[in-house]
Amino acid sequence: MTKYIVHGGKPLFGEVEISGAKNAAVAIIPAAILVDGVCRIENIPQISDVTAILKILEQLGASIRSINRHTVEIDSRHIHTTRTSYELSRKLRASYYLIGALLGRFGRAEVAMPGGCNFGGVRPIDQHVKGFSALGAGVTTEGGYINAIVESGRLTGANIYLDVVSVGATMNIMMAAALAQGDTVIENCAKEPHIVDLANFLNSMGADIRGAGTDTIKIRGVERLSGGSYAIIPDQIEAGTYMAAVAATGGQILVKNIIPKHMDCITAKLQECGVEVEEQDDTLLVRRTARLKKANVKTLPYPGFPTDMQPQMTTVLTLAQGTSLVTEGVWSSRYRYVDELKRMGARIQVDDKTAVVEGVEKLTGAPIQAYDLRAGAALVIAALAAEGESEISNVQYIERGYEDIIGKLRALGADIRAVEEPDEDALSTAQIS
Ligand SMILES: CC(=O)N[C@H]1[C@@H](OP(=O)(O)OP(=O)(O)OC[C@H]2O[C@@H](n3ccc(=O)[nH]c3=O)[C@H](O)[C@@H]2O)O[C@H](CO)[C@@H](O)[C@@H]1O
Ligand SMILES: C=C(OP(=O)(O)O)C(=O)O
């Protein structure tokens, strides 16, 4: 079992290169199933979610050729099954994109119920199912699998109005409709940068999708997608996490390889807290020299403040002067990490969707546990800012979404290292038997 050991209390200085976006990569890789040819995908982040999704494609019969650390070629011409591995698919939320991709290309899909981070309840997919059904598929759940099938073998375009703004449903329906017979209109869509990225990827392979990034997406179904080359956008949330880290520790860092427009919702909030942010081409210079100021934050679909930055931002606010209010507007709960921050001296009260954060002068290091990906990132930030040593366990969650977080932070001067430790539960079982 890997743990991170952090000696905090040091400001960060230097440069950090942002990797490709996790939430775009985990959709674009399954979307390669729709392509009857070879697609080359560049700027793929090296994270465990990507490894898992590539492995699922390989098991379906796609050939995956690694060109370099961040580029793969996927050839989906010889896919021989539409049933995914139960063990692998249930590990990640993004496996639900395999339904849209397999259904769109082959008219059927059998995909294990998705996993991913648990925010205190199930992560529903009723809007995805509503979309697939409108396109003519029958969808049932049996033995832990979601089975979708269209008897004629090809979906038919339809008008779909989403009841809730859902990133996953927007992307999944877009994939399924790309090869459908006729036109599809999706209304009340989500507008996240990764939605635009998926549409751009599909269009570069021959799809006809317009309006991604607005609340109405129009898809004219095409007969076939052929191969091509595409580079994934930089990760807005990874960039935001490093910005939040320097906000918490103080110092000055240059965040490189970003799209500044995607960062506006995060930049504006950090500036409100007194962090200085200067934009230059595809970089942001982020500096914090004075004490942080309080701010109120509400997470909302893009271009609102992202829910995937809520734990990191709440951590920054634990060190701000005054009392801040954080409201989670996307998930019913995403505050499991708060108890861990309290072990470090943070003062936070959670009432349903709201966290009241009373800023403290300093945090102190402690043994803490990550419960999900962004909660883990938040704890790393807290440990970097805290005085003394912290030991972070369950870091496999962090590695789902952050490429080489240790190397990148060490290059900024952080004292953080990964250590392998025997699993205590396994040890005690071994001793008993
Ligand atoms: C709009 C939004 O900010 N979405 C976030 C959401 O995307 P993700 O795609 O996982 O989730 P959705 O955008 O689909 O969910 C947004 C909301 O819609 C609800 N819902 C979703 C699908 C559905 O079929 N039925 C339904 O009711 C969810 O319960 C949730 O309250 O979590 C991801 C991981 O944290 C983030 O990267 C996304 O930015
Ligand atoms: C929660 C996240 O990922 P997932 O939806 O894949 O669990 C995230 O990216 O913050």
CATH code, domain carrying 371: 3.65.10.10
Q: Which protein residue's CA is at the shortest distance from atom 4 of ligand 2?
A: 116
Are 191 and 248 members of one domain? Answer: no
The fraction of the chain above a pLDDT of 70, given in percent, is 97
Q: Could you tell me if 68 and 15 lie in one domain?
A: no
Domain match, 181 and 305 both: no
DSSP 299: B
Q: Which two tokens stand for residue 374?
A: 């962004």
User: What Cα–Cα distance (Å) separates residue 133 from each residue in 177, 378, 410?
Assistant: 12, 39, 49
The pLDDT value given to residue 113: 85
Instruction: Starting from the CA of residue 116, give the closest ligand.
Output: 2
Are 73 and 188 in the same domain?
yes
Q: Binding residue per annotation — 124? A: yes
Q: How confident is the model at residue 221 (pLDDT cuts 50, 70, 90)?
A: very high
pLDDT interval class at 429 (50, 70, 90):
very low
CA angle 52, 98, 122 (to 5 degrees): 80
Q: Is the CB of 117 under 6 A from ligand 2?
A: yes
What is the token pair recorded at 51?
A: 């490894």
The SS3 call for residue 178 is helix
Q: How far is the CA of 430 from the centre of ligand 1 (A)?
A: 41
pLDDT at 104: 98
Q: What is the DSSP string of 225-284?
A: B--EEEEPPB-HHHHHHHHHHHHHH-EEEEEES--HHHHHHHHHHHHHTT-EEEEETTEE
Q: Using DSSP, state whether 81 is helix, strand or coil.
A: coil
pLDDT, tens only, 343-380: 999 999 999 999 999 999 999 999 999 999 999 999 99
For residue 228, tell me if it sits in a domain. Answer: no
pLDDT of residue 432: 36
- Give the β-pairing of 323-327 and 297-298: parallel
- C-alpha 337/C-alpha 294 separation (Å) is 20
**Pocket lining: 93 vs ligand 2, CB cutoff 6 Å:** yes
Residues 262 and 117 in one domain: no
39 lines ligand 2 (CB under 6 A): no
Residue 224 Cα to ligand 2 middle (Å): 31
Q: How far is CA 293 from the centre of its chain?
A: 28
Structure tokens at 387: 């005085």
Q: pLDDT at residue 341 above 60? A: yes
- pLDDT value at position 121? 66
Residues 6+ apart with CB under 8 A from 153: 106, 107
Number of independent structural domains in the chain:
2
pTM for the model = 0.96
Shared domain check, 92 and 116: yes
Do 135 and 169 fall into the same domain?
A: yes
Q: Do 28 and 172 sit in the same domain of this protein?
A: yes
What torsion do the CA atoms of 396, 402, 407, 413 make, to the nearest 10 degrees? -110
Q: Is 432 annotated as a binding residue?
A: no
ipTM of the prediction:
0.97
Q: Is residue 431 included in any domain, yes or no?
A: no
Per-residue pLDDT tens digits for 155-201: 999 999 999 999 999 999 999 999 999 999 999 999 999 999 999 99
Residue that terminates a domain, selected from 182, 198, 220: 220
Structural domain containing residue 386? 2-19+234-426
From 220, 247, 281, give the residue that closes a domain. Answer: 220
Say if residue 386 is in the same domain as residue 299.
Answer: yes
CA-angle at 416, arms to 272 and 19, nearest 5°: 65
Annotated binding-site residue? 296? no
* Final residue belonging to a domain, choices 191, 220, 249: 220
- Does 39 lie in the same domain as 14? no
Residue 131 CB-density burial (10 A; 0-12 exposed, 13-18 middle, 19+ buried): buried
225 part of a folded domain: no
| Residue 433 pLDDT class (50, 70, 90 cuts) | very low
Instruction: Work out the mean pLDDT of the chain and round it to a whole number.
Output: 95
Domain shared by 58 and 183, yes or no:
yes
What CA–CA distance (Å, rounded) separates 33 from 103? 10
Report pLDDT digits (tens) over 112-138.
988 767 776 678 999 999 999 999 999
Residue 227 in any domain: the answer is no
